[in-house]
Homo-oligomer: A and B are copies of this chain.
Amino acid sequence: MKHFSILVAFICSISLAQAQTEDSLAIRKIFDEALENGHSYKNLKSLCKDVGARLSGSPEAAKAVVWAKELLESYNFDTVWLQPVKVPHWVRGDKEEAKLNGVPMSIKTLGGSVFSNGLITANVVEIQSFEELEELGREQIEGKFVFYNRAFDRKLISTGQAYSGCVGQRWMGASKASEYGAIGVFVRSLTHHRDDNAHTGSMGYEEGIKKIPAVALGIKDSEILSIMLKEKPASKASMNINPQTLPDKDSYNVIAEIKGKIEPDKVITFGGHLDSWDVGEGAHDDGAGVAHSIEALRLLKKIGYEPQYTLRCVLFMNEENGNNGGKTYAAVAKEKGEFHVAALESDAGGFVPRGFTLDGTKEQVELMQSWEPLLRPYKLHIFDKGWGGVDIGPLKNQNTPLIGLRPDDQRYFDHHHSDTDVFENVHRRELELGCASFAAMIYLVDKYGLGADRGITN
């Protein structure tokens, strides 16, 4: 019996070693192809330069759909199709001006904002938090601009965490200020980077509250405005913006598949979002995720990998201002009774990949962590419980484990939603390493599942 056990242990250790060797060889092939013959950099260049910024509903977003479909078709995957998605159609307009005591300030209208109805001029009240609104009260706010100036917490190592600590003032700032009679809001741009570029992003209005115009203010001008308000509290700011919300438009998620060889009805979805803001070129946000996803499917095909499950690359529409692509995708999957083994997203830029976070059970996180030895040679070290992504988020309701690619985040918010999110600020090798890392994780999820074999159903 003892000898038998040793024999079994020996055989098991051989098969484990063989599996590890097979996996490490496959992952090596993925990285070699991405780094030596990668398509991601030229694909991203084309998306940025031939299509450009592509806000949902815009002609450029429509062009991006065609661009993506044609590119995916050129790779001869098993299927490529468009999934209809209804999207909002907000346009910035041709006026975007603000001044402080007559001197121009750098602004960007926030996505979703109403127009100012011509030039509006008023005093300004600076605050750091919503609590201060209440302390100041209507008498000190009514008829004025509110200036939200809470800065990123520099002490936080994760810039994403710093962003989370401030994004509320962008999203809800206008409604909160409107409650106290403000006529408009300036929001400090959500970045560490001290430059003159204002960073846009989405905002919303609470039901039943008067809608007031909202703009992001560049960091340098935020600092100047803050100093001026201390020195000359009677300073006057002005704002003139004319954005419009037009009727919703028809658009699409763009999807490509390699069919599973063993269980084709079970799906691994991975993707990024095809839309971007209407400034810069949407290079890191999320051209990189688009390039990562397309390249991941190409890499897996190129190395001749035959997946167990169906591998589905989804380029989602409308992450930036509505997430209708993600919502539609999850709704359709539910309607069709599709089983998702996992969903993966790349929407954190094209910087050097550091690892992955998984939004799922403890067991799923531990399973992912068991792959660390295979990925450590590629300097992937983060395998933590954490955020998946906005687009794949709605699949959470179907018990799908969600995995987010985690590139280094120190530079991400320098460019986020601003004029500098352009192709030139993406580094070729960093992008290529991201593609290979993403493909390697998809490979491992396909090989070992993440609980699909444990009978979790929708």
- Chain A: interface size category: 20 to 34
Q: Which residues of B contact A433 (CB under 8 A)?
A: 157, 410
Contact A154-B35, Cβ < 8 Å, known A354-B379, A381-B381, A429-B192: yes
**Bound-state Cα–Cα, A382 to B378, Å:** 12
**A419 at interface by CB-CB < 8 Å:** no
Q: Is the CB of B411 within 8 A of A408?
A: no
Residue ID in chain B nearest A381 by CB atoms: B381
Q: Which residues of B contact A428 (CB under 8 A)?
A: 192
**A90 at interface by CB-CB < 8 Å:** no
Interface string of A354-365 (1 = CB under 8 A from B): 100000000000
Q: Which residues of B contact A31 (CB under 8 A)?
A: 155, 157
**A430 at interface by CB-CB < 8 Å:** yes
Interface string of A145-163 (1 = CB under 8 A from B): 0000000001101010000
> Interface of A with B (CB < 8 Å)?
31-32, 35-36, 154-155, 157, 159, 192, 352, 354, 377-379, 381-382, 408, 410-411, 414, 427-430, 433
The 7 closest A-B CB pairs, nearest first, are A381-B381, A35-B154, A32-B155, A410-B429, A36-B154, A352-B410, A410-B430
Q: Which residues of B contact A382 (CB under 8 A)?
A: 379, 381
Q: Which residues of B contact A354 (CB under 8 A)?
A: 379
Q: Which residues of B contact A32 (CB under 8 A)?
A: 155
Residue ID in chain B nearest A376 by CB atoms: B381
Q: Which residues of B contact A381 (CB under 8 A)?
A: 381-382
Q: Which residues of B contact A430 (CB under 8 A)?
A: 410-411
Q: Is the CB of B36 within 8 A of A155?
A: yes
- Chain B proximity of A101: nearest CB distance (Å): 30
Contact A408-B352, Cβ < 8 Å, known A192-B429, A381-B381, A429-B192: yes
Q: Which residues of B contact A154 (CB under 8 A)?
A: 35-36, 429
- Chain B proximity of A76: nearest CB distance (Å): 25
- Chain B proximity of A402: nearest CB distance (Å): 22
Contact A157-B410, Cβ < 8 Å, known A192-B429, A429-B192: no
Q: Is the CB of A35 within 8 A of B410?
A: no
Q: Which residues of B contact A192 (CB under 8 A)?
A: 428-429
Q: Which residues of B contact A379 (CB under 8 A)?
A: 157, 354, 382
**Bound-state Cα–Cα, A382 to B376, Å:** 10
**Bound-state Cα–Cα, A411 to B426, Å:** 11
Q: Is the CB of A155 within 8 A of B35?
A: yes
- Chain B proximity of A403: nearest CB distance (Å): 19
Could you name 27 residue pairs across A and B whose Cβ atoms are closer than 8 Å? A31-B155, A31-B157, A35-B154, A35-B155, A36-B154, A36-B155, A154-B429, A157-B377, A157-B378, A157-B379, A157-B433, A159-B429, A192-B428, A192-B429, A352-B352, A352-B408, A352-B410, A354-B379, A379-B382, A381-B381, A381-B382, A408-B408, A410-B429, A410-B430, A411-B427, A411-B430, A414-B427
Residue ID in chain B nearest A35 by CB atoms: B154
- Chain B proximity of A74: nearest CB distance (Å): 23
- Chain B proximity of A43: nearest CB distance (Å): 17
**Bound-state Cα–Cα, A414 to B382, Å:** 26
**Bound-state Cα–Cα, A32 to B31, Å:** 37
Residue ID in chain B nearest A159 by CB atoms: B429
Residue ID in chain B nearest A380 by CB atoms: B381
Known: A35-B154, A157-B433, A408-B408. 18 other contacts (CB 8 A): A31-B157, A32-B155, A35-B155, A36-B154, A154-B429, A157-B378, A157-B379, A192-B428, A352-B352, A354-B379, A381-B381, A381-B382, A410-B427, A410-B429, A410-B430, A411-B427, A411-B430, A414-B427
